[in-house]
Amino acid sequence: MIIDVLKDGFKTVKEHKWAILGMWMPAFIVGVIANCFSNNNAITAAISNLSIDPVTALNTLQSSFALMFIFSILTSLFSVSLKMGLLKSDQDGNFNFKNAFAAFDGMTWVGVIVIDFLAALIEAVLIVLFAVVALLFFFAGVNQQNSFFFAIAALVALIGIAVFIYVSLGLAFIFLTYYTDTKDTDLNNGFIKSFPETWKLMKGHRYELLGLIVLQFLISFGVFLAFLVVVVIVAVLFSLMHGSIIAISLATILGILIFIAAIVAIVFLDLWFLMSQIKFFERLK
């Protein structure tokens, strides 16, 4: 199944690359803008100035965190909307640019925000719960100078990581489940019903999804290593030319070409992997 969805995703992106790229652009642009407004330097400076000018510092912190919160919601909405749009397009056989805004059809975006909040809350509770228990055993080990408590702390931490991954995989397609199954069947509680529905959908398929994610990571890492090898080889070759004008000119041209190729590869991998996950969801259905 993993290889099949990768092949299907690759084929779909290859056949509809320009349409899918166009659908991808709104989410990318919103993400870039959000990153620009996530001014960590301003937050750091405001915190350091709390004792000097607390009023100005607090105003800066409030505005910075407000912008970060707004753009984090927008980034999530556009990202989810892209997945919904790709699913709709693949099912209809027509990759239309307007499908990139599928989450903004009616009140769907409200359900997305609520689901995003609830899913984040569940994951946060799991992290805090296991972290607190692990820290309690860790500090008990420090106080008692007993390695047994350190072993228990490590075990709790490992169990916490495993549970977090298990839950995250179980909720991986919650937005798509909401979009296809529960959004229209129950307008008031569809976002709540999407949790048990996606949990049942992923039963017996978590390891396959984990395998897909791991394989996608390995492919990305392989592409990164390939570019790294090319860069090293080019750098070594031109270092042997003793910095002549021709060598510098060729190095500049090759550097630009390698940079462009890297950008194209990154974008294509992103679209390919995204489409492969859509194919995975469709096979589950």
> Which residues, 6+ apart, have CB-to-CB distance to 187 below 8 Å?
107
Q: CB neighbours (10 Å) of residue 178? A: 27
pLDDT digits (tens, 9 = 90+) for 69-99: 788 889 999 999 999 999 999 998 889 999 9
> Which residues, 6+ apart, have CB-to-CB distance to 220 below 8 Å?
269
CA distance 5 to 142: 49
What distances in angstroms separate CA 204 from CA 33, 129, 200, 241, one per listed residue?
39, 26, 9, 58
What is the per-residue pLDDT for 79?
94
**Mean pLDDT along residues 105-109:** 85
**Is the per-residue pLDDT at 234 higher than 80?**
no
CA distance 237 to 251: 10
**Angle at alpha carbon of residue 26, lines to 24 and 31, rounded to 5°:** 100
CA distance 94 to 283: 19
Backbone φ and ψ for 184, nearest 5 degrees, come out as -90, -20
What is the per-residue pLDDT for 142?
83
**Mean pLDDT along residues 27-56:** 68
